[in-house]
């Protein structure tokens, strides 16, 4: 059930690993897509704007959860690459305790003050109640978010990127059914969409847990391996927390940006929401390349095969660049048609603004591919604290556009906030990545020479 990424042609290995990860990400986005489609089509543009107004806040919190779990998986991948099964299981035991603590603290710490946060964000009064009903349920569901993300990260750390996809596919079907039941049959409104997402993700997490217990003995600690180890806990936190903070720091810029988008009115929020939802789906291949290069790099670092890391980066960038061109063509030719998934066809201005968002972002998808590939490569090498610098640059980019460009240029400036953030991040990530590849290779060579002398 495991897969060794330290031997074989990098391009073939990366494709084989990335495609199941991509399907997994698409299924995850499917939760949000179905929610948004049903909300927009059945509850109206105000309800759609309510969901959209929580997007950056949602990303800041849920992104931290995902980042932490992905970071925890890196020491696991390195241990697997080094063929140290005992250490791998100790990391799993310690990460389990950390996820339990993190999930409870975060659920309470975000759900209780979220109405106050929405008010600070200048959420329009007419959508404030719906926005609160939606996001508070998502935040109380943080423990199930951790459950799925940590289990799927464990499974991927040993090279299996296919299994989590199956369970997410089943959960996606459940999500669709629950959306119709909760929103249309039970008249739960926008809260029904949130409950459908939480319940479905919980089911996918439980399925992962059952399968892991049956099929992955290598991922099952025993006895003292379940105890929390200070050394393992420190290593996990030193990688996982910076990866989580990277998402959160980036999201702070998105929060600032959202405040200024909110000032443009409900119509602008709805168009921006539709465009961003579609863009997130089209960006899944970049995210899958990031997850892939992190596991690939982690295993090769553990095996001491540093020359393969640079080759893997170049393969990922090639794949990302080809896809970026394809996505831009799709946005240019069919951007308004795609927006019909969320918006009423009678509102041509909303459709045009959603298409504008897609095209302006699509032009800069190659820099976005670089953000994902180089950032996650750095994290796979174990230098996740450095990735926070890129997150900080993204935060600055979005915040500056929000504060200075949107008041002058309006909605088009909001569409360019993402590209500005990606370019600023790349200015740091690209040279930093190659610096760390050379650094770990030199350190490894020095260690070998020292060993030979002794």
Give the model's pLDDT for residue 33: 66
Question: Burial letters for 225-253: b for 16+ Cβ neighbours within 10 Å, e otherwise?
Answer: bbeebeebbebbbebbbbbbbbbbbbbbb
Domain assignment present for 212: yes
Domain assignment present for 329: yes
Give the model's pLDDT for residue 31: 62
CB 272 within 8 A of CB 348: no
Whether the pTM exceeds 0.85: the reply is no
Q: Which residues contact 183 (CB under 8 A, 6 or more apart)?
A: 38, 39, 42, 43, 189, 192, 193, 196
Q: Which residues contact 190 (CB under 8 A, 6 or more apart)?
A: 39, 43, 47, 50, 51, 130, 133, 134
Exposed/middle/buried for residue 122 (C-beta within 10 Å: 0-12, 13-18, 19+) = middle
Domain assignment present for 195: yes
**Beta strand residue intervals within 167-318, DSSP E:** none
Give the model's pLDDT for residue 123: 85
Domain assignment present for 1: no
Domain assignment present for 66: yes
Q: What is the number of other CB atoms lying within 10 angstroms of the CB of residue 177? A: 13
pLDDT string in tens for the chain (454-residue length) = 577 888 899 999 999 989 988 887 787 676 666 666 777 777 777 777 788 778 778 878 888 898 899 889 989 988 988 889 999 999 999 999 999 999 999 999 999 999 999 998 888 888 899 899 999 999 999 999 999 999 988 998 888 888 877 887 788 788 888 888 898 888 888 888 889 889 988 998 998 899 899 888 899 999 999 999 999 999 999 888 888 887 777 767 777 888 888 889 888 888 888 898 889 889 999 999 998 999 899 999 988 898 899 999 999 999 999 999 999 999 999 998 888 877 777 778 889 999 999 999 999 999 999 999 999 999 899 888 787 888 889 889 999 999 999 999 999 999 999 999 999 999 999 999 999 999 998 887 787 777 676 6
Q: Tell me the C-alpha to C-alpha distance, in Å, between residue 369 and each of 62, 174, 175.
A: 21, 32, 29
| DSSP designation for 188 | -
Cα distance between residue 63 and residue 57, in whole Å:
10
Range of the domain at 293: 10-453
Residue in this structure with the two tokens 């991509």, named with its chain if needed: 22
CB 289 within 8 A of CB 372: yes
CB 82 within 8 A of CB 382: no
Residue in this structure with the two tokens 């200015």, named with its chain if needed: 427
Domain assignment present for 139: yes
Give the model's pLDDT for residue 88: 94
Domain assignment present for 298: yes
Total domain count, the chain: 1
Q: Is the dihedral of CA 221, 223, 225, 226 positive or negative?
A: positive
Domain assignment present for 31: yes
């Amino acid at each position: 059930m495991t897969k060794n990424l330290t031997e074989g042609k990098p391009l073939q290995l990366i494709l084989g690993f990335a495609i199941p990860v991509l399907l997994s990400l698409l299924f995850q986005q499917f939760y949000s897509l179905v929610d948004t489609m049903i909300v927009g089509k059945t509850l109206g543009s105000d309800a759609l704007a309510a969901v959209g107004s929580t997007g950056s806040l949602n990303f800041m919190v849920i992104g931290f959860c995902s980042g932490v779990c992905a970071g925890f998986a890196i020491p696991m991948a390195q241990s697997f690459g080094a063929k140290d099964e005992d250490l791998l299981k100790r990391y799993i035991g310690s990460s389990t305790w950390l996820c339990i603590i993190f999930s409870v603290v975060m659920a309470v710490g975000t759900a209780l003050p979220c109405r106050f946060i929405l008010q600070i964000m200048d959420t329009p009064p007419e959508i404030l109640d719906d926005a609160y009903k939606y996001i508070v349920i998502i935040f109380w569901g943080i423990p199930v978010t951790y459950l799925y993300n940590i289990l799927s990260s464990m499974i991927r750390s040993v090279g299996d990127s296919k299994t989590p996809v199956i369970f997410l596919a089943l959960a996606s079907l459940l999500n669709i059914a629950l959306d119709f039941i909760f929103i249309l049959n039970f008249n739960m409104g926008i809260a029904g969409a949130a409950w459908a997402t939480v319940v479905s993700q919980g089911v996918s997490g439980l399925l992962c847990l059952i399968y892991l217990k049956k099929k992955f003995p290598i991922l099952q600690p025993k006895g003292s391996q379940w105890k929390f180890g200070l050394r393992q806990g420190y290593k996990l936190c030193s990688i996982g927390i910076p990866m989580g903070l990277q998402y959160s720091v980036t999201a702070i810029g998105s929060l600032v940006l959202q405040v200024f988008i909110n000032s443009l009115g409900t119509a602008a929020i709805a168009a921006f929401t539709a465009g961003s939802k579609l863009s997130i789906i089209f960006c899944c291949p970049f995210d899958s390349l990031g997850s892939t290069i992190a596991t690939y790099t982690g295993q090769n670092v553990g095996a001491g095969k540093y020359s393969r890391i640079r080759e893997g980066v170049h393969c990922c960038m090639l794949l990302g660049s080809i896809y970026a061109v394809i996505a831009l063509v799709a946005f240019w030719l069919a951007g308004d048609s795609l927006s019909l998934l969320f918006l009423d066809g009678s509102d041509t201005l909303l459709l045009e603004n959603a298409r504008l968002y897609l095209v302006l972002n699509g032009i800069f998808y190659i820099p976005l591919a670089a953000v994902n590939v180089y950032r996650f490569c750095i994290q796979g090498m174990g230098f996740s604290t450095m990735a926070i610098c890129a997150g900080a640059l993204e935060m600055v980019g979005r915040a500056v556009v929000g504060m200075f460009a949107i008041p002058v240029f309006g909605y088009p400036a909001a569409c360019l906030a993402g590209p500005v953030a990606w370019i600023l991040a790349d200015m740091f990530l690209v040279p930093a990545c190659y610096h760390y590849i050379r650094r770990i290779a030199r350190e490894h060579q020095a260690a070998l020479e020292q060993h030979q002398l002794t």
